[in-house]
Amino acid sequence: NAGVTQTPKFQVLKTGQSMTLQCAQDMNHNSMYWYRQDPGMGLRLIYYSASEGTTDKGEVPNGYNVSRLNKREFSLRLESAAPSQTSVYFCASSEIAGTQPQHFGDGTRLSIL
């Protein structure tokens, strides 16, 4: 049982390049989330999708876009990467948006030069 799968695991970009981080879950969860994790800081929510067909901004959405492709897949796009976006990105899912625990993937480590 894979749970939440993120691709790629590692990526190096140059400033101004674009890329899409992929996330898929096989738990039939309705809600999905994108976080970033920086040293000394807690996980911060970028965007979330409470259900298929809906997306909403989180705490730090600037510079990112998302697409909820279907119930299983939720992608995060950086249109013009900046060094400040160097981080570890985690995707998570939960059965419903509420007090259900969120289940996380193993992250994408992104460096922007």
Positions that interact with another protein (CB under 8 A): 4, 31, 33, 40-45, 48, 50, 56, 58-59, 90, 92, 97-99, 101-107
Shortest spacing between CB 16 and another protein, in angstroms: 28
**Minimum separation from the CB atom of position 80 to another protein (A):** 26
Q: Are 82 and 95 in contact (CB under 8 A)?
A: no
Nearer to another protein, 71 or 103 (CB): 103
Nearest approach, Cβ of 23 to another protein (angstroms)? 11
| CA torsion, ordered 37, 75, 80, 41, to nearest 10 deg | -10
